[in-house]
Chain A
């Protein structure tokens, strides 16, 4: 680990020169490697993700950004051939610690997926599922309050307040995605991972989600994977560029988009490949 931490220091030191330094790292990755069977999908990633800010992962398809995202809530554990090495900490605590159950980790690190995937149940049940699972509500009234508050925070409540018992799958795509966000924040996670949350949505729904992300930043640490560089530029404070399984460059979003240090980053954001 000494090598890893030294490299991390070097990395942070490098950062400190131009860009605003991350206030405090909520999530920190130290030398993370991911193998899918024989395939080396993620190579030696060191990154700090600051608290109460939006960090965007960009990069061409298959570059490992989604893989890394799924390491943060140990979603990769569900893939039997997947092997993760290295260290990822949240608030300084190793999330791959054997004492930590991934199920509880996922209650702290929520996730929103590429395609809106509400449960084929009522809107209310969609949001109430998580709190009920973790015993977060002691009474029906409390559960109701959690549901309403979560829907409100996902700015969906006004649209669905009269039909909480209708199936969640009956909503429009953008509403479904906001429902998924409401479902994720209902268990009060500290980190929310978003895996291309707008790729299946039209521009208007996308704008709403982006607006929502901006609001959520006040209370949550958000990591978003996106294919759209405009989106990364609009919503994120920090950006990390992945290429061929490696983290090429990470820094303040302004700096990455205006003054990238790496040639590959420059080529990517100017649209020369990817």
Chain B
């Protein structure tokens, strides 16, 4: 080694010749590498942007419908016998009355032909189970309404609402050709007209053909029989599908035959004629048979203008039956439907009925939890940061402490939940599901974040400020608290808000301390049982009802909105108080 230093090998040094081919080639390589890097960066940004947009677009598309609700305008007779049989106008009496019954009665008045018990149930199912509560509120506010008939929007059930939002089935309408004779016989109906149903019948045959084609595709997917193996199951399946396909083909090819409308296979056909609606069960070229869903005007036996509505999805494949759709369409035709902003999504707590479920309980729970978190972690976090940064002796112990604070920031959040369960619930005996405990757990979770951010902010304050204060005779603590801390405050607040946003979105630790329960009431204090927004989202996303899926997306939108606002505030704070030294 020393030898080499003593006797360096003679080297010829040369400068850069900017015109030589070699250096030009080298420069070209450099620029290519730079262009490549830029391209990758841009591509990454674009891909990320597309994904974010797709995600947001999907959430908004799914969630927007939950902010609106459909209501039916009904004439409700507030009969005194039902509401206040004793005539005392005692609020307790009024509160206990069966308002839901009144709403059902109003709906049945609308469709007097619905007599069968099963159908009546269906009809009543169109309105929400909470519709009576709205009526109760209205009557309690104004008892003079009793005995009168009022026209009032009534909240529809989730299935009816979803159908009206277009999530049920597509409806195709075609004007019927020629005159149509109606022959009513109780609940059944027979419709006649020369070639009246030729077009819908043809369409049905087309559907049969496409169903047969679908079966053919299924057939082709069945693996071939293999010699030496037991192929009976495959053969049987193949046989069955072939038979069904051939049956369908035959029906489709026989242009003149009447078709029975199988609700598991074919779309539903509803004839709208003379103010009535008739569900067809059998259709031929010139006549059709069916049942009355909505009674026509009295004495109508022949109509010129009529329509055939096709509910494209077979009845068996959707949640709303033909009858329900027909009733809703009848209401729509009479202009008795309203679509309005669903304020109850923000004013109601959770509910088993999707149309009644709201996020107020979860929002309040989140607010209380965050309040507790802030109250605990801001003073402790900032205090710890100031102590560690300015006062703690620099030795091995504080080094270990510092490393572990950084490690704590990376601990999975569920571990904090377990800690909270063991400490706050089991040892200290604090109440389960309470925002107090949730807030404490989240405070533990965001404490490292706040300490790290605060230390960075304190470190960023130039030492000259502290020296200046010390120079005029301030004590160490005075210098920190009068000068350094106020200057570090924007940074600390930014860190805190980001920590809070983190806490707002946290679910896992709260599951461990029981904030995952179904809680209808809006919490009034930090010891009441509550849930929080992300947990509410988690709970709703698990429920089978379609309407809860839209509410899940809507709750995500609200949560994202809050997160945007909080992060925006952090950025604003940083911009506003950014100081250049």
Closest to B464 in A: A117
Interface contact tally, CB-CB below 8 A: 61
Q: Does B468 contact A (CB under 8 A)?
A: yes
The answer to whether B483 and A119 touch across the interface, beta carbons within 8 angstroms, is yes
Enumerate chain A residues within 8 angstroms of B469, measured Cβ to Cβ. 119, 129
The answer to whether A117 and B473 touch across the interface, beta carbons within 8 angstroms, is no
The answer to whether A187 and B464 touch across the interface, beta carbons within 8 angstroms, is no
Enumerate chain A residues within 8 angstroms of B101, measured Cβ to Cβ. none
Q: Does B353 contact A (CB under 8 A)?
A: no
Enumerate chain A residues within 8 angstroms of B468, measured Cβ to Cβ. 113, 117-119, 180, 183
How many Å lie between the Cα of A75 and that of B468 in the bound state? 11
How far is the CB of B577 from the nearest CB of chain A, in Å?
10
How many Å lie between the Cα of A107 and that of B393 in the bound state? 26
Contact A184-B465, Cβ < 8 Å, known A120-B579, A133-B478: no
The answer to whether A106 and B487 touch across the interface, beta carbons within 8 angstroms, is no
How far is the CB of A78 from the nearest CB of chain B, in Å?
6
Contact among A80, A115, A120, A133 with B472 in the assembled complex (CB-CB below 8 Å): A133
How far is the CB of B475 from the nearest CB of chain A, in Å?
5
Give A105-132 interface residues, CB cut-off 8 Å to B. 106-107, 110-113, 115, 117-120, 129-130
Majority SS of interface residues in chain B? helix
Q: Does B525 contact A (CB under 8 A)?
A: no
How far is the CB of A76 from the nearest CB of chain B, in Å?
11
> What range describes how many residues of A lie at the interface?
20 to 34
Enumerate chain B residues within 8 angstroms of A73, measured Cβ to Cβ. 471
Q: Does B476 contact A (CB under 8 A)?
A: yes
Enumerate chain A residues within 8 angstroms of B471, measured Cβ to Cβ. 73, 75, 106, 110-113, 184
The answer to whether B472 and A78 touch across the interface, beta carbons within 8 angstroms, is no
Enumerate chain B residues within 8 angstroms of A80, measured Cβ to Cβ. 393-394
How many Å lie between the Cα of A165 and that of B467 in the bound state? 23
The answer to whether B470 and A75 touch across the interface, beta carbons within 8 angstroms, is yes
Q: Does B474 contact A (CB under 8 A)?
A: yes
The answer to whether B473 and A115 touch across the interface, beta carbons within 8 angstroms, is no
Closest to B473 in A: A107
Give 1 or 0 for each of A125-144: 1 = CB within 8 Å of chain B CB: 00001100110000000000
Contact among A112, A120, A130, A180 with B473 in the assembled complex (CB-CB below 8 Å): A130
How many Å lie between the Cα of A156 and that of B503 in the bound state? 51
The answer to whether A120 and B470 touch across the interface, beta carbons within 8 angstroms, is no
The answer to whether B487 and A78 touch across the interface, beta carbons within 8 angstroms, is no
Give B478-493 interface residues, CB cut-off 8 Å to A. 478, 482-483, 487
Enumerate chain B residues within 8 angstroms of A23, measured Cβ to Cβ. none
Enumerate chain A residues within 8 angstroms of B475, measured Cβ to Cβ. 103
Closest to B393 in A: A80
How many Å lie between the Cα of A103 and that of B469 in the bound state? 10
Give 1 or 0 for each of B543-569: 1 = CB within 8 Å of chain A CB: 000000000000000000000000000
Enumerate chain B residues within 8 angstroms of A13, measured Cβ to Cβ. none
The answer to whether B472 and A110 touch across the interface, beta carbons within 8 angstroms, is yes
Binding site for B on A (CB under 8 A): 73, 75, 78, 80, 103-104, 106-107, 110-113, 115, 117-120, 129-130, 133-134, 180, 183-184, 186-187
Further pairs besides A103-B474, A110-B471, A119-B468: 18, Cβ < 8 Å: A73-B471, A75-B470, A103-B473, A106-B472, A107-B472, A110-B472, A111-B467, A117-B464, A117-B465, A118-B468, A120-B465, A120-B579, A129-B469, A133-B474, A133-B478, A134-B473, A183-B472, A187-B473
A–B pairs, 27, beta carbons within 8 Å: A75-B467, A75-B470, A75-B471, A78-B467, A78-B476, A103-B473, A104-B473, A106-B471, A106-B473, A110-B472, A115-B464, A118-B468, A119-B465, A119-B468, A119-B469, A119-B483, A120-B465, A120-B487, A120-B579, A129-B469, A129-B472, A130-B473, A133-B472, A133-B473, A134-B473, A183-B472, A186-B472
Q: Which 3 A-B pairs have the closest CB atoms?
A: A107-B473, A117-B464, A130-B472
